[in-house]
Structure 1
């Protein structure tokens, strides 16, 4: 082999080795493990749920192993920004404030809220009925942010809990009058406990998204591309149907993508039209 040949082969071999090492480097993600049906423990160990399977499929399409760690939701974004995780698979409600601290993918599911109350509470049918009452929320969540933004308008008290399961238990035990949470975890809680029901539904116009650090646009765009491909090939809709026993609406975030990467109208959105690259 000539010196010239060796000169070209060596960099190519090095590039291949680097690419192979990157492909084997695990992606690290965080979840709230007490948030069924999105993420919750399996009896055999590990985690299951819609968001767990979505994260696993994203990693598979990127050719990377996935490491999942559970923590209370309020600790996840600080851990992400400290470099502990590459992104979060815990359902994260988009907002203008949140978009200042993390870089968001496009939404993968609409996130409307409801209030869970005891079945016997026929006096609580609308937000106006909660004046002077106590709403339990999950610390650091979108529902907590919404509850604080509207507290003066509706006049309720707010009780904050480390997990949404604890917030539901506060309603069951009588320590709170209602639990403000997303429709899907609330439906799961009601299915699992016959003593509670949902009452007022709040149309937020918001979606759940996958957050990255502000300096990781490349990672955000990679995962955003996977979401676009999953919407196009129907696999995201199939996963939705599997876990929620219903079809996503045709115009929902589970079915429709924006032209660029991110959430339109929020910080971090890249409006450059994306050409799909689906492997």
Structure 2
């Protein structure tokens, strides 16, 4: 029985969660639920595995602790895969590249380098990779980092003048600037990292199911359709959204298994 067949046999709904303030990846809809790239991604994973997937919304800082506590089967909110996280969680292959970008007020001076923010206040979403990165540079850059429970509040602090810039993912930054004429994009920091779904280390079978589902989405074009729906353009050749990686997991990260996997797409 293949991975999808095993998933169908188990039958129980899979539980996952997003940060519902992280547009365009997850944000409120008019019906009182959440919509966005990662919500569609979760539902397509469910279709590939022939399993119902329920998507909760909560602050990002609480998602990984809830996963560890067994509340969720996996976390579909964008989780940046870095060495520290890969040592503590299992990840299927990445579905999007992620770079860090600054969002500033439209009339603010252009930020050409991080040193331009010496003595300034920047905001981040609490518990995110941007939070960790920015705090790690506090002494070197000389900025003050303020963490907010939601990405919406972190951006609002820039609009209100309480901070000079918000540090977030490039897709989220582009969406914020597109939706708000008072904002613009500024300095881009290339990371070489990807976003993936987080799984507890004692659930290798869950990682295997997600790996197959994500690979199938790349192969049949369903991931590209979701990408174009929310970002307005197709995945670029060679990007994580368009590339099926060998083995299981994120190459060059702890937990990666280079062994060849059987084809699981029907």
TM-score (norm 2): 0.94
Which residue does 2:10 correspond to in 1?
Answer: 22
Give every structure 1 segment of 4 or more consecutive aligned residues whose post-TM-superposition deviation is greater than 6 Å.
18-21
Provide Cα deviations, 1:26-68, integer angstroms capped at 9, x if missing partner. 1000110111111112112322110000100101111111111
Q: How far, CA to CA, are the matches of 2:99 and 2:8 in structure 1?
A: 42
Extract unaligned runs of 5+ from structure 1. 1-17
Equivalent position of 1:140 in the other structure: 127
Q: Residue 267 of structure 1 is aligned with which of 254, 258, 261? A: 254
Contact kept in structure 1, 2:80 and 2:195, CA below 8 Å: yes
* Aligned residue in 2 for 1:155: 142
- Structure 1 residue 149, shift from structure 2 partner: 2.5
Structure with max Cα Rg: 1
Distance 2:235 2:7 in 1: 37
1:60 maps to 2:47: yes
Is 1:195 aligned with 2:182? yes
Are residue 79 (structure 1) and residue 66 (structure 2) matched?
yes
In structure 2, the partner of 1:241 is 228
Which secondary structure state, in structure 2, belongs to the residue aligned with residue 188 of structure 1?
helix
Tell me if the contact between 2:8 and 2:49 (Cα under 8 Å) persists in the aligned partners. no
SS in 2 for 1:103: coil
Is 2:230 the counterpart of 1:231?
no
Q: Which runs of 5+ in 2 are unaligned?
A: 1-5
Asked if the contact 2:19/2:58 (under 8 Å) is kept, the reply is yes
TM-score (norm 1): 0.90
Distance across 2 between alignment mates of 1:192 and 1:60 = 31
- Alpha-carbon distance in 1 for matches of 2:130, 2:244: 24
Q: CA deviation at 1:20?
A: 6.6
Q: Do structure 1's residue 207 and structure 2's residue 178 form an aligned pair? A: no
Q: Deviations over 1:128-173 (max 9, x none)?
A: 2001111100011111122123333222110000011110000001
SS of corresponding position for 2:241: coil
Match of 1:99 in 2: 86
CA distance in 1 between counterparts of 2:264 and 2:180 reads 44
Aligned length: 261
- Deviation (angstroms), 1:232: 1.4
Are the structure 2 counterparts of residues 249 and 123 from structure 1 closer, same or farther at C-alpha, using a change threshold of 3 Å?
Answer: closer
**Distance (whole Å) between structure 2 residues aligned to residue 173 and residue 209 of structure 1:** 33
Task: Tell me if structure 1 keeps the 8 A contact 2:8–2:51.
Answer: no
Q: CA deviation at 1:123?
A: 5.2
Structure 1 distance, partners of 2:31, 2:251, is 40
Distance across 1 between alignment mates of 2:133 and 2:51: 36
C-alpha RMSD of the superposition? 1.5
Paired position in structure 1 for 2:3: none
